[in-house]
Structure 1
């Protein structure tokens, strides 16, 4: 019997992953965020759907959800360029803290009036849905040609506001369950969680980058696993000391991703694929936990839709407009930031905490939050690109390197492959290779142009949009990077 159960478990895991991957293809064509389709796959396979999988374990869901969030935040931090984020640090942090708090307050008032719950229960509603979701934001914005300042603000906000939402949720639950809970102690706890989380992230990020570069592993495939292990270590040890593990993971990933890193492409590609797998698994599990018969009724639909409308059209705009006062955003940009406040996995995972704590109305919390997230993803997630276009906030089309080339790495040899995209404003644009004065110990290995490989030689002309793969000795890498960057700035 155990053997049969194992076979069925592996079979259903394979089926769910295949369905999850296929839905990403259809989501692009249908203009619907992939997370919605992942949720629907879970609901379809669950007890209220085809009845293939019976799953009603909120504790396991919470564990899988937090593990997946660690992986997703780590991947998002690796891909985030500090040069883009540092310009929007103040507004993104303001949105991640003040913005979440303001959203919580507005939603709390609405939930109190709509569902006739206590004030603490109303604030619990607000805290659960107060943050934008990193998994949803990273997935929806990837490949979109939205202005860098706006996309960077949203990515940084979503990467740093989960700790705020989790802190508020757990603090309100403590106030509801502990007789002598102290508001003053909660404020001190917040300062400790955020401050220590930031410090732990910086320390682990520096240490992880050093360890990855210095260790000499026999297989390049071990480097991505080594990096991922540091993300899990960062979260666990930070959480053990009572600080924000999620914040620490995101900060550590920022440090690692923006430093010199051996086997960079291998690490990035592995974590990108693993983050997709965890996102698929997390949303499908969340879909399995939901019983459509419990929330697809007149009461939940009507009141849940009313709360979702208030969240989308009142709470989020109020939070954005107030928390970005005098921070350099135009009204159109604030409207877009308001609309792009996507809800996703985090609110649903947070909604499992009242269930595991055995709170009264916990099932109501979960059903309403799930409906609100579904509404937000369908309405906002599918129209982000359209709204940006209507508001005239599109930037230049984003192009990702179609290939990666990583022949040697600083972990194995005293050389590195540098990938460089040639811009319109670069002074090497439209120049012959023989006329470009690169630093010494530099060799152009390959040029990718419109998806085709161009063999470089002295008479090769460099075009805007070309991807250059440059072999450089370790000691000349910073000089080469400085040369390439200065060439763009001095045009």
Structure 2
């Protein structure tokens, strides 16, 4: 019992820090600086002031952050879902893969020719900085939500390019410092294997998990979210053992589950959303503890980082990635917003820790550069996102908090009951309920607008953002869905020109 007091004090301090991290979102909204910046910088400063905090084993940090990313990517996949992903699938895959490769190559060339990095380290640096993080964007936007294809594309791109960036770094590390076409061939083979195996395991794992959720009941409601969480870990593990991308696998599995019904699905989604928020705090804090601010002046890391960050924000992303984005159908405002909002987050810093483990003499310098670039991207580029969204007059809606919920429980799955959100431009947007061609086998029974109930009458005019509960027979369900979402089940991909 002698250690009870020190342990209690430590636990209290850790929980107090966690509470401050949660409350930092209020400060983030006021200062227009993404909350992750506070976690990253605060942890870095703390590790310099209290050296014991920076004594974490780098492998332990990598593993903990990997678990956090599994949670974040799985939740991100569920948030997108099959319907939203399918509406821009071609654009998401194209931008996630080609955009990552172009960004990595351009930054590698800049690091080599401008600052004298050898090609191996330059490629590692460029690849580490390639992935984007939409959580940073949405943290800055706060309660404002971007409507239309740009929001889907940003979410999908980050979910796709995180696994792509990680797989690309693994491929480069596998090829090593060897020169010649043999090394290139080895890297391409490893990369292709990671992508294909990850996608296949994710699809199969997502479908298997869905069957498991529907057919195997559990004795307690609280066990259902835990089962899904454990299953996501299994999907990651299987893909990794098979030499695939576990990150891509959990992201795809999350997409598969996103729109599907299952027992306690809303509770599962709330649990994973809260857990993803915690995972983001943990990831940025742990990664911040690995940074030593006192080493940034060494080798001009801060200057190199600033130059690369400016090049990425004003040249690489808008020009080179802009060329990649040309085949995608977007308005000029949406295109500008997507290209500016490719912000960096936890994944580049995580990839930087893998570079540290190579024990290359220049690895620490590369890691410091990664930190500076991420910090610039989060604070400067991220801070301008709300202003840019307003300036471009993008379709946005303010999502007000809705702390009160009213629901019904059913013993069996309610097959004829469907929940929709009226999309902007959908046939139902601006139409009265009686004017909708739903026939006699479907009817609207519940409408919620801006967090308040709307009386359902034939003359009630629906608006974009309205949440509806619709009863519809199976034979007309697909047609009814198209009225409210604008994307009927089975519609072809319209995310890219072709």
**TM-score interval (norm. to shorter):** 0.7 to 0.9
| Contact 2:236 2:249 (C-alpha < 8 Å) held by counterparts | yes
- 1:306 partnered with 2:307: yes
Aligned equivalents of 1:116, 1:176: Cα separation in 2: 19
| Unaligned stretches of 5+ residues in structure 1 | none
8 Å Cα contact 1:423/1:429 also seen in 2: no
User: Which residue is equivalent to 1:86?
Assistant: 86
Give the deviation of 1:484 after TM superposition.
Answer: 5.0
Among 477, 480, 491, the residue aligned to 1:483: 480
Q: C-alpha separation between the residues in 1 aligned to 2:430 and 2:331?
A: 35
Contact 2:422 2:484 in 1 (8 A): no
SS in 2 for 1:419: strand
Contact 2:81 2:257 in 1 (8 A): no
- Asked if structure 2 preserves the Cα contact closer than 8 Å seen for 1:137 and 1:155, the reply is no
Residues 428-486 of structure 1 show CA distances to partners (whole Å, capped at 9, x for unaligned) of 954589x996647x893x554443456x687995653553446x6xx946755643543
Q: CA deviation at 1:177?
A: 5.5
State how 1:101-180 maps to structure 2 within 5 Å: 101-137=101-137, 139-140=139-140, 143-176=143-176
1:113, distance to aligned residue in structure 2 (A): 3.3
CA 1:449–1:100 in structure 2 vs 1: closer, same or farther (change >3 Å)? Answer: closer
> Aligned with 2:175: secondary structure?
helix
In the alignment, what sits opposite 2:37? 36
Shift of residue 373, structure 1, vs aligned partner = 0.1
Q: Distance in 1 between matches of 2:356 and 2:142?
A: 33
Contact 1:429 1:463 in 2 (8 A): yes
Q: How far apart in 2 are the matches of 1:311 and 1:355?
A: 23
- Cα distance in 1, alignment partners of residues 36 and 352 from structure 2: 17
Q: Tell me whether 1:255 sits opposite 2:252 in the alignment.
A: no
Structure 1 pair 373/172, CA: closer, same or farther in 2 (3 Å)?
same
Q: State how many pairs are aligned.
A: 479
Shift of residue 427, structure 1, vs aligned partner: 8.0
Q: Deviations over 1:403-422 (max 9, x none)?
A: 5444225xx32437643345
Partner of 1:426: 428
Q: CA deviation at 1:290?
A: 1.6
Kindly provide the CA deviation profile for residues 197-231 of structure 1, in whole angstroms up to 9, marking residues without a partner as x. Answer: 11111111111111111222222222211111221
Q: CA deviation at 1:58?
A: 1.5
Partner SS, residue 22 of structure 1: helix
Q: For residue 18 of structure 2, what is the aligned residue in structure 1?
A: 17
**Alpha-carbon spacing, 1:73–1:139, altered in 2? closer, same or farther (3 Å):** farther
2 CA distance for matches of 1:479 and 1:344? 43
Contact 1:405/1:469 (<8 A) preserved:
no
Tell me the distance in 2 between the aligned counterparts of 1:330 and 1:105: 27
Matched-pair contact (CA < 8 Å) for 2:306–2:373 = yes
SS of 1:415's equivalent in the other structure is coil
Q: CA deviation at 1:5?
A: 5.8
Tell me the residue number matched to 1:7.
8
Cross-structure match for 1:242: 243
What is the match of residue 378 of structure 1? 379
- Whether the aligned pair in 1 keeps the contact of 2:174 and 2:187 (CA below 8 Å) is no
Partner residue, 2:493: none
What is the Cα-based RMSD across aligned positions, in Å?
3.3
Distance 1:333 1:453, change over 3 A: closer
**Maintained 8 Å contact 1:138/1:155:** no
Question: Is there any run of 5+ residues in structure 2 with no aligned partner, and where?
Answer: 488-498
Match of 2:278 in 1: 277
> In 2, Cα distance between the equivalents of 1:201 and 1:275?
19
Residues 272-292 of structure 1, C-alpha deviations (whole Å, 9 max, x = no match): 100000101111111222222
Secondary structure at 1:351 match in 2: helix
SS at match of 1:397: strand
- Relative distance call for 1:466 and 1:175 in structure 2 (3 A) is closer
Residue of structure 2 equivalent to 1:75 = 75
Instruction: Please give the per-residue CA displacement for 1:20-67, whole angstroms capped at 9, x wherever unaligned.
Output: 1011121112111111112133234x2323668344422111111111
Q: CA deviation at 1:83?
A: 2.8
3-state SS, counterpart of residue 260 of structure 1: coil
Greater Cα shift, 476-485 or 109-118: 476-485
How far apart are 1:172 and its partner, in Å? 2.3
- Quick one: distance in 2 between partners of 1:345 and 1:289? 12
Could you tell me whether the CA contact under 8 Å between 2:171 and 2:188 is conserved in 1?
no
User: Measured at CA, do residues 443 and 353 of structure 1 come closer, stay the same or move farther in structure 2, by a change above 3 Å?
Assistant: same
Partner of 1:467: 467
Secondary structure of 1:379's aligned partner: helix
Cα pair 1:76 1:138 within 8 Å, conserved: no
- Alignment map for 1:95-106 (pairs within 5 Å): 95-106=95-106
Alignment partner of 1:182: what SS?
Answer: helix
Distance 1:62 1:427, change over 3 A: closer
The SS at the match of 2:47 is coil
Distance across 2 between alignment mates of 1:16 and 1:54: 16
Structure 1 residue 374 displacement after superposition: 0.2
Q: TM-score scaled to structure 2, two decimals? A: 0.85
Give the equivalent residue in structure 2 for 1:413.
412
SS, match of residue 47 in structure 1: helix
SS in structure 2 opposite 1:193?
A: helix
Change (3 A) 1:89 1:414: closer
State which drifts further: 290-299 or 124-133. Answer: 290-299
Q: CA deviation at 1:378?
A: 0.9
- The equivalences for 1:286-325 within 5 A come to 286-295=287-296, 299-325=300-326
Deviates more, 1:158-167 or 1:346-355: 158-167
Shift of 1:71: 0.5
